[in-house]
């Protein structure tokens, strides 16, 4: 059975092996409505926006799901040496990303460098500002929402899939799921990934891009500089046991060379795999200790 809803500026698809009753579906819809209200940087009354308005030394209590997500995102920020940063709101706005998609033109301006230390301390559900920087959960927020929804559904369903804007999480006690990867420009099928348990995330420099004068900007920022990542990659698909991990891996891959990915990315995420499309049209596959041209 398949149902769909719109949340987090993406179409969310939920598939289970048996029909879902209306009560369970309504509960799922309520959860995604909560995410839309409270995790959005575009809503001034959201929990995220209220945290961003905290002054140094001030503390605010937030809901448990958001507190746990912020704690995890902060750990990734520290673990990955700031290649991944959930604190790039000011830099995204300076980059021209100040409204939700779709848009094609924007004005950019200079912005200070992003924070080098986490600007918030999370203790239980209490969040205290200790430095500069502003939260933009972006892809990891979308991935977290899908993961939390999947955790709830797995209590009832032996086989299921949740897809949200390029992020997919699956579980199955029997037949594996087939996840199709498409070319970002032609939308033709390129690869199929077979998974019983795990997650896949895909990011590219085309879907969320816009013009600033004659220059094309995109939403994939370098966590260390706060500027759009300069990369020979056009699209990255990452598979990992957890959707959090896959989401972070896609962001890191755009910022790293092949050697850096082997040295750092696969040290941090040793069970992950990458399928990469270069700007020359070449497809490559990478995992810990292996890298080569992908031929299908």
Q: How many domains does the chain have?
A: 1
Does the structure show a pLDDT above 90 at 61? yes
Residue 256: its pLDDT value, please? 97
The residue range of the domain holding 68 is 2-293
CATH number at residue 39: 3.10.520.10
Q: What is the pLDDT of residues 148-189, one digit of tens each?
A: 999 999 999 999 999 998 899 999 999 999 999 999 999 999
Q: What is the DSSP string of the chain?
A: -EEEEEETTEEEEEEESSPPPHHHHHHHHHHHHHHHHHS-SS-TTSHHHHHHTPPTT-EEE--HHHHHHHHHHHHHHHHTTTSS-S-BHHHHHHTT--SPSP-SB------PPPPSS-SEEEETTEEEE-SS-B---HHHHHHHHHHHHHHHHTTT-SEEEEEETTEEEEEESSSPEEEEEE-TTT--EEEEEEESSEEEEEEESSTTEEEETTEEEES-B-TTT-SBPP-SEEEEEEEESSHHHHHHHHHHHHHS-HHHIIIIIHHHSTT-EEEEEETTS-EEEEETTEEEE---
Does the structure show a pLDDT above 90 at 27? yes
């Amino acid at each position: 059975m398949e149902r769909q809803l719109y949340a987090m500026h993406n179409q969310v698809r939920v598939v289970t092996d048996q029909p879902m009753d209306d009560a369970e579906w309504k509960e799922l819809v309520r959860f995604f409505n909560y995410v839309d209200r409270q995790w959005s940087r575009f809503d001034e009354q959201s929990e995220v926006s209220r945290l961003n308005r905290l002054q140094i030394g001030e503390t605010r209590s937030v809901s448990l799901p958001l507190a746990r997500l912020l704690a995890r995102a902060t750990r990734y920020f520290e673990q990955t040496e700031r290649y991944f940063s959930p604190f790039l709101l000011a830099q995204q706005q300076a980059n021209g990303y100040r409204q939700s998609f779709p848009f094609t033109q924007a004005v950019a301006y200079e912005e200070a460098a992003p924070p080098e230390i986490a600007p918030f301390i999370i203790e239980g559900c209490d969040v205290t500002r200790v430095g500069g920087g502003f939260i933009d959960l972006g892809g990891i927020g979308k991935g977290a929402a899908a993961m939390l929804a999947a955790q709830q559904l797995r209590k009832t369903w032996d086989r299921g899939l949740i897809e949200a804007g390029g992020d997919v999480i699956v579980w199955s006690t029997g037949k594996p799921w087939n996840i199709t990867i498409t070319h970002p420009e032609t939308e033709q099928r390129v690869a199929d990934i077979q998974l019983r348990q795990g997650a896949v995330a895909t990011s590219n420099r085309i879907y969320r891009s816009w013009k600033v004068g004659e220059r094309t900007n995109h939403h994939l920022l370098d966590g260390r500089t706060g500027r759009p990542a300069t990369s020979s990659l056009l699209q990255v698909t990452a598979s990992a046991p957890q959707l959090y991990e896959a989401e972070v891996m896609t962001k890191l891959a755009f910022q790293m060379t092949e050697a850096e990915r082997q040295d750092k990315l696969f040290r941090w995420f040793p069970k992950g795999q990458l399928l990469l499309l270069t700007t020359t049209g070449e497809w490559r596959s990478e995992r810990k200790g292996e890298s080569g041209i992908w031929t299908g």
